[in-house]
Amino acid sequence: MELTRSHVFVFGQVQGVGYRFSTHKIADQLGLNGWVRNLPDGRVEAVFEGEEQAIEAMLKWCKTGPRMAIVQHLEVIPEPPEHLQGFQIKR
């Protein structure tokens, strides 16, 4: 299995709509490792590590997010994997 990593910034109305919780749930379902957190400027930041196909599915979901979210833009930065374990919501 080839491990890949994407560092993601989500722009739009993505705080206070369950975005982090939903991201955690989907990442678990896809078998991804990493983390997600809110940023002070209103964006959501996340890191996903796993198989490329699973990350692509995660990024596709991130473009829409949970029902109440309004995603305007995704910034995706490929990075070398750090072999993270599990997926967490950072405060």
**pLDDT tens-digit profile of 39-70?**
999 999 999 999 999 999 999 999 999 999 99
Digit-coded pLDDT (tens) for 13-33: 999 999 999 999 999 999 999
Supply the CATH number for residue 66's domain. Answer: 3.30.70.100
Assess whether 91 carries a catalytic annotation. no
Query: How far is Cα 31 from Cα 73, in angstroms, rounded to an integer?
Result: 24
Of 5, 33, 37, 38, which residue is the catalytic one? Answer: 38
38 tagged catalytic: yes
pTM of the predicted protein model: 0.96
Domain count of the fold of the chain? 1
Which domain range does residue 79 map to?
3-89
